Amino acid sequence: MTLKTQPQYGFEDYLAAERAGRDVKHEYVNGEVFAMTGASFNHNLIVLNLGSELRARLKGSPCYVLPSDMRVRIEAANAGKYPDLTALCDAPRFHDDRQDVLLNPALIVEVLSASTEAYDRGGKFAAYRRLPSLEEYALVSQDQPLVEVFSRQSDGRWVLSESEGLDAEAVFASLGCRVALREIYNKVVFEHGGREGD
């Protein structure tokens, strides 16, 4: 019995194909390329809500908040990913002059779904941790008002801080701001049928 293997690609080959205008975004993991699927209504609403709230709080600051079309290169993990949100307060550094591959995010946010949660918590977080610039990694639930923020400590450990319930606030120390979960989940309809934040 032989196993069919995917062809191995170099990062530059992957990047050239992505830039050539494929209709579907792909993530790159150590020579393998994986198509990304579409996201749910709630997923998109949460990303837009949080991105808008962060941007409003950071107006006039040197910080940037970027949507999911901003590719992030993790050289130490030989990976390229599209986080749901990326933010930084330092001058952005890019892979090349095209400025479409960021190298130095301070905050990465992923909105969890049933199909990606294990990977977002496991392999993806392991890769992101290899970014020297990364200070925080946030996981946002679609199923309940819950935001988990993992913060890098000076000794390299990652410490979890949970914010749960609509009256709670998520703290993003890397950006020097906090956001109420009521704002993050504005108009989100949870499976139990409740609509939050009208």
**Residue 103's pLDDT is what?**
98
Contact residues for 43 (Cβ-Cβ < 8 A; gap 6+): 84, 111, 113, 142
All domains in the chain, ordered by first residue: 39-184 (3.90.1570.10)
Task: Please state the pTM of the whole predicted model.
Answer: 0.90
**Residue 6's pLDDT is what?**
58
Number of Cβ within 10 Å of residue 10's Cβ equals 11
**Residue 18's pLDDT is what?**
84
**Residue 33's pLDDT is what?**
85
Class of residue 12 by CB neighbours under 10 A (exposed 0-12, middle 13-18, buried 19+): exposed
Q: Kindly give the confidence (pLDDT) of every residue in the chain, 198 residues in length, as a single tens digit, with 9 standing for 90 and above.
A: 334 345 688 999 888 888 887 678 888 999 888 888 889 999 999 999 999 999 999 999 999 999 999 999 999 999 999 999 999 999 999 999 999 999 999 999 999 999 999 999 999 999 999 999 999 999 999 999 999 999 999 999 999 999 999 999 999 999 999 999 999 999 999 987 555 554
Left if phi > 0, otherwise alpha if psi is -120 to 50, otherwise beta: which for 164? beta
**Residue 142's pLDDT is what?**
96
